[in-house]
Amino acid sequence: MRNRNEPEVSRRGLLLGGTAVAVTAVPVTGRAQAPAQAPAQSPVTGVQAATIAGPPMSKVSFTVNGIAKELELDTRTTLLDALRERLQLPGTKKGCDHGQCGACTVIVDGRRINACLTLAVMHEGDRITTIEGLGTPEHLHPMQSALVRHDGYQCGYCTPGQICSAVAVLDEIKAGIPSHVSADLTAPPQATAVELRERMSGNICRCGAYSNIIDAITEVAGRPA
């Protein structure tokens, strides 16, 4: 039990008092203390940190929209970033950057791929076609004209990937490549609405213009819309 004659000490006063004791316990020599010597840096794989090399670079040559291109790139650069940032071809869009939306679809050696899922250095010697290489405002590709006629776009962000994918889809059908919904894998596939929807399912339109896109592809395929 506390003696009534003893002064009452609050918790705050006790803490402040402890701090004061700690401060007064530090010796004052009248001269600045020498700073503690910093620990020696551990070697980084035998190379001084100041001389660590930058990212690995590599040269790659390919043909883009009929024009030969040669780039020196960080080996981690995706084909999408090489097209957009280094070759200034912004028509190929960066959507999800995870291969889920299809906005970055381009045609490489006649086959459609997601440019965000492949490295540029993997395409040495390849022939790459982007939306800029399919047509121009003065001379539209038939697929571009069909999408305009059928109002196959709204915001337009997915449209380049939709068009590149649609062009490649018709080439796949002409080549006799079946899909998951092809009833007979030995028979030539047809450009039916069911086939086209399945083959275009990797290209997402957040505006919901799917039916108009299918109508446009059907027209280009030579079937009644």
pLDDT tens, 122-171? 999 999 999 999 999 999 999 999 999 999 999 999 999 999 999 999 99
The percentage of residues in the chain with a pLDDT greater than 90, rounded to a whole number, is 72
The pLDDT assigned to 47 comes to 53
Q: 135-225 — its CATH code?
A: 1.10.150.120
Question: Residue 9 CA to chain centroid, in angstroms?
Answer: 64
Q: What is the identity of the amino acid at 143?
A: M
54-80 mean pLDDT? 96
Q: Where in the chain do CATH 3.10.20.30 domains reside?
A: 55-134
Mean pLDDT confidence for 103-115: 98
- pLDDT grade, residue 52 (50/70/90)? confident
Task: Please state, in angstroms and rounded to a whole number, the distance separating the CA atoms of residues 131 and 217.
Answer: 16
Q: What is the mean pLDDT of residues 79-95?
A: 97
- Helix ranges (DSSP H) in 30-112: 79-81
**pLDDT averaged over the chain?**
86
CATH of domain 55-134: 3.10.20.30
Helix (H, G, I), strand (E, B) or coil at 195: helix
Look at residue 40 and tell me whether its pLDDT is greater than 90.
no
Residue 74 bridge partners (DSSP)? 57
- Which helix (H) or strand (E) is 64 found in, with range? strand 57-64
CB atoms within 10 A of CB 108: 18
> H-type helices in 105-174, by residue range?
131-134, 142-149, 159-174
Q: List every span in the chain annotated with CATH 1.10.150.120.
A: 135-225
